[in-house]
Amino acid sequence: MVVPAPSHNGNGAATPSGFSGARRSIGSPQFSIRRMEVDQLSVSYAAREAVKSVSLPIRQGEVLAMIGPSGCGKTTLLRSLNRLTELTRTARVSGRILLDDVDIGLIEPTLLRRRVTMVFQQPNPFPMSVFDNIAYVLREQGSRRQRRKTLEPQVHSALDRAGLFEEVKDNLDHPALRLSGGQQQRLCIARALAAEPEVLLLDEPCSALDPQSTQVIEDLIVNLRDDVAVVIVTHNLQQAYRIADHVAFMYLGDLVEYGAATTVFGSPREKRTQEYVSGAFG
């Protein structure tokens, strides 16, 4: 196979690397605070090494996008940030991850997962009302205590931050699984925000959604970056280009390139990155 030279591919505007660019909908960060630090992280499932000695920072005020072909370890890396990897029995993790300078291995998993919350690929509201979906997060473990009245302000503000409140304020008692796909996913984001996390992880949050809902969620993600450090895994290069400040390109478990989005898409240092963002493989 011949590696295609960087070229225009008929779509007109192409960046020097061959990435047929989308329009960036994110401005440069106002500030950035380092919240997490991944240090020499390796994760393996039985004999297979899914993540190989990856180090990178995660900052509030910025959106970090992780890109790469299927099976390159980006989701595994994401799941190790809140220790969800521990639910897989065969998974072995080595290296360090710091959250505000504390090793996450020393933090109780249930506490850690309230500080580093996650949104999944498939919208997965719980089979209860819109209100209870958020209230469940605010309540103590399995408890039903705490009256609706006392939780109301927090529930409303979480829905509001996810840009959903206006749409559902009259239907808070309706079953959440009756919302549209895009609304369900925003409810899941609201749920993740209700715990007041420091870091928000998104695992291909738009892959099951239509373009319009995708746009709404992308705008939302951009707006959230000042309140919370955002890490998004995506298959969609255009999406990464549109909303990310920093991009981590992973390939076969290696972190091939980490840098500012404009650099990774515009003039990548590594050949593999250039091939991937120009569509030579993926």
Partner 1 sequence: MGAPVATPPASPPSGGAPRKPSKGLPQSGSTWHLSDRIGLAICWALGLLFCAIAVAIVAYLFVQGIKYLRPEMLFTPATAGFSQGQTGGFSDAFFGTLIVATMGIAIALPVGVGVAVWLVEYGRPAALARVTESTIEAIAGIPSIVLALFGTVIFSSAALGFLSRTSEGVVFGRSFFGASAMLSLVALPLVVASTREGLSAIPQHVREASYAVGKTKIATARRILLPAARPQVATGAMLGLGRIIGDTAIIVVLLGATQNFAPVEGAAFPFNYLRGAGTTLTNFVYEASPTGNLNQPEKAYAAAFVLLLMVLALNAAVDIVHRRARKVGTWSS
Instruction: Kindly state the number of chain residues that form the binding site for partner 1, as judged by CB under 8 A.
Output: 33
**Residue reference for tokens 């039985």:** 46
Contact with partner 1 (CB under 8 A) among 41, 43, 137, 222: 137
Residues contacting residue 45 through CB under 8 Å, at least 6 positions apart: 88, 90, 91, 92
Tell me which residues in 77-96 interact with partner 1 (CB under 8 A). 82, 84, 87
Q: H-helix or E-strand containing 146?
A: none
Contact with partner 1 (CB under 8 A) among 141, 145, 149, 211: 141
Q: Among the candidate windows 18-26, 105-113, 150-158, 212-220, which touches partner 1 by CB under 8 A?
A: 105-113
Angstrom distance (rounded) from CA 273 to CA 253 = 14
Q: H-helix or E-strand containing 21?
A: none
Long-range contacts of 262-271 (CB under 8 A, 24+ apart): 262/24, 265/15, 265/17, 265/19, 265/21, 265/237, 265/240, 265/241, 266/15, 266/16, 266/17, 266/19, 267/16, 267/17, 268/17
Contact with partner 1 (CB under 8 A) among 195, 252, 260, 280: 195
Could you say whether residue 172 binds partner 1 (CB under 8 A)? no
Q: Are strands 102-103 and 91-99 parallel, antiparallel or unpaired?
A: antiparallel
Please report, in angstroms and rounded to a whole number, the separation of the first and last CA atoms in the chain.
Answer: 15
For partner 1, which is the closer residue by CB, 17 or 75?
A: 75
For partner 1, which is the closer residue by CB, 100 or 270?
A: 100
Beta-bridge partner residues of 65 = 232, 247
Could you say whether residue 70 binds partner 1 (CB under 8 A)? no
Q: Among the candidate windows 10-18, 111-119, 154-162, 212-220, which touches partner 1 by CB under 8 A?
A: 111-119
Could you say whether residue 63 binds partner 1 (CB under 8 A)? no
Could you say whether residue 126 binds partner 1 (CB under 8 A)? yes
| Residues found near partner 1 in the complex (CB under 8 A) | 82, 84, 87, 109-114, 117-118, 120-124, 126-128, 136-137, 141-142, 175, 177-178, 181, 188, 191-192, 194-195, 208
